[in-house]
């Protein structure tokens, strides 16, 4: 039987998903299963690695059974995963020595705060492209080795294996034969030198991490190993693509050229810009990261985030109670011709890049007697586009690369008003794919490329059915509106300064 499909395993923070793609890159079916979140102490977040494996395997088998797909017809498997989450297990028993410490976990925040003021922080940024933060894997791994009884001794003897979730799944799928990761996930550990593309010996020494515990780092596309017969099929299936979830979305959105950028509009916004073979160093709070590697060619990216995006719309609904559902905002805002000079700065938890003001708080600026709730809703939606332009401007300034287009996904990308206003404020086209499976597709494309199921021509082909929003706003109006936004942000910062006096 000829191979007809790619199976994508999409292992997220709250659920495990499996998606099957055909030769035309279309999703044929999806299975999803949530798993338990553990909160053993304030600010601590853990997952049971065995439960992650069990749910991921179950959804894969359920999907194939429901679609009546013979496993022999699967050309390869791709893996995409929640990044930075840390697992350590015993190579001999195959059992984790501790629950996985999730990327959200803040137990090592105090250690990181002390390190930020040191010369070591400068070295870490230069080597890894990351700022020191408990978000990344290094201090999580250090914590496990120091706090799990006997863990360091076992690590020094070569008994323990460390990995992010992709590595754990790869180990389980191959029956414990392969201990490896890809460059995109390695670059999120705060242990990987993105210039030399190798584990950084100085950082390993600083954190007391034995090199023997680390996985082999491979390109993102290519055969990592084969499934153990009997796990998914009696036949071995190649695992030929691995990408961290945000990098997978960048690839799935076809951001293949320098200057192409994807923005995921969720509670906040995750933005990644392709910077080609260039590592962009920045002190502005943006992260430099590895996007992917195919063959010998490494592609890098800049990463930035907006703290409050979709959460601002939720505030309209749950806080102010002036809307009932997010979907109704589109008809509300188009019932007025503009926000009438009103700006909403949703700095509910401070301001990120390019302002980096932890004391700033939300502000509504420009209210006059003619303002209604409709203008307030419109100004809130517009704030998503303004904040995105803030980050894009920072990326352009740091990289020297002009934005060509913005690829959008996430909940707010379904809102026609937001997407058109975003195109107008950025003055570039905004593209929204018909499929919402950009992350799973990115892993599938890598896996398909790794076994020649897909070609580069397939991947570069125009995405059918995508919706494109083209800018129509005049230069004068765009400049005036954005200038007003920057003044509104200044008001939010000035208020914070005054309130501290």
Beta-bridged to residue 485, according to DSSP, are none
Number of C-beta neighbours around residue 232 at 10 A: 19
> Which residues lie closer than 8 Å to 455 by C-beta, 6 or more apart?
449
pLDDT digit string, tens, across residues 459-475: 888 777 788 999 999 99
- At 404, which helix (H) or strand (E)? none
Say what the pLDDT of residue 405 is: 87
pLDDT digit string, tens, across residues 410-441: 878 889 999 999 999 999 999 988 777 888 99
Residue whose pair of structure tokens reads 């496990």 in the numeric block: 144
pLDDT higher than threshold 90 for residue 45: no
Q: Model confidence at 314, in pLDDT bands (50, 70, 90)?
A: confident
- At 88, which helix (H) or strand (E)? strand 87-90
CATH superfamily of 254-432+471-501: ATPase, nucleotide binding domain (3.30.420.40)
Report long-range pairs for 373-376 (Cβ below 8 Å, ≥24 apart).
373/322, 374/332, 374/333, 374/335, 374/336, 375/336, 375/338, 375/339, 375/340, 375/342, 376/316, 376/320, 376/322, 376/342, 376/344
Q: Model confidence at 501, in pLDDT bands (50, 70, 90)?
A: very low
pTM of the model: 0.85
Question: Do 5-246 and 254-432+471-501 have matching folds?
Answer: yes
**Domain spans of the chain, in order of start:** 5-246, 254-432+471-501
CB 218 within 8 A of CB 294: no
**What is the rounded distance in angstroms from the CA atom of residue 279 to the CA atom of residue 192?**
14
Q: What is the mean pLDDT of the chain?
A: 90
- Which CATH architecture is the domain 5-246 placed in? 2-Layer Sandwich (3.30)
pLDDT digit string, tens, across residues 266-275: 777 888 989 9
């Amino acid at each position: 039987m000829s191979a007809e499909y790619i199976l994508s395993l999409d292992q997220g923070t709250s659920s495990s998903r499996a998606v099957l793609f055909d030769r035309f890159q279309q999703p044929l079916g999806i299975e999803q299963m949530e798993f338990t979140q553990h909160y053993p102490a304030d600010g601590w977040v853990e997952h049971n690695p065995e439960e992650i494996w069990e749910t991921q395997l179950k959804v894969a088998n359920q999907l194939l059974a429901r679609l009546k797909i013979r496993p022999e017809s699967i050309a390869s498997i791709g893996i995409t995963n929640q990044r930075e989450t840390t697992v350590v297990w015993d190579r001999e028993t195959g059992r984790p020595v501790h629950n996985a410490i999730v990327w959200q976990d803040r137990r090592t925040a105090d250690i990181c705060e002390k390190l930020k003021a040191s010369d070591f922080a400068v070295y870490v940024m230069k080597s890894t492209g990351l700022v020191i933060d408990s978000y990344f894997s290094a201090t999580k791994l250090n914590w496990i080795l120091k706090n799990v009884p006997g863990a360091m001794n076992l690590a020094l003897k070569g008994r323990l294996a460390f990995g992010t979730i992709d590595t754990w799944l790869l180990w389980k799928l191959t029956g414990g034969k392969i201990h490896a990761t890809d460059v995109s996930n390695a670059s999120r550990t705060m242990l990987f030198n993105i210039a030399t593309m190798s584990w950084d010996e100085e950082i390993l020494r600083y954190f007391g991490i034995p090199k023997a515990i680390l996985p082999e780092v491979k390109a993102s596309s290519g055969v990592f190993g084969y499934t153990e017969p009997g796990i998914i099929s009696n036949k071995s299936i190649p695992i030929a693509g691995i990408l961290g979830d945000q990098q997978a979305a960048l690839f799935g959105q076809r951001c293949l050229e320098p200057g192409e950028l994807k923005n995921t509009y969720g509670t906040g916004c995750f933005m990644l810009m392709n910077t080609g073979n260039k590592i962009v160093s920045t002190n502005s709070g943006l992260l430099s990261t590895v996007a992917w590697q195919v063959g010998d060619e490494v592609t890098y990216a800049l990463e930035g985030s907006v703290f409050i995006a979709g959460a601002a719309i939720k505030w309209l609904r749950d806080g102010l109670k002036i809307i009932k559902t997010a979907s109704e905002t589109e008809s509300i805002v188009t019932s007025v011709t503009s926000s009438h000079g009103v700006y909403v700065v949703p700095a509910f938890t401070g301001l990120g890049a390019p302002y980096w003001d932890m004391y700033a708080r939300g502000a509504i600026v420009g209210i006059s007697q003619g303002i209604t709730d409709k203008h307030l809703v419109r100004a809130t939606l517009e704030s998503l586009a303004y904040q995105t332009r803030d980050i894009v401007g920072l990326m352009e300034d740091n990289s020297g690369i002009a934005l060509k287009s913005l690829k959008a996904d996430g909940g707010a990308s379904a809102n026609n008003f937001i997407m058109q206003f975003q195109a107008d404020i950025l003055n570039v086209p905004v593209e929204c794919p018909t499929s919402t499976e950009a992350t799973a597709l990115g892993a599938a494309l890598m896996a398909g490329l790794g076994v020649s199921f897909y070609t580069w021509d397939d991947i570069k082909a125009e995405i059918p059915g995508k919706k494109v929003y083209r800018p129509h706003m005049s230069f004068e109006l765009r400049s005036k509106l954005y200038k007003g936004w920057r003044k509104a942000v200044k008001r939010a910062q000035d208020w914070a300064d005054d309130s501290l006096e």
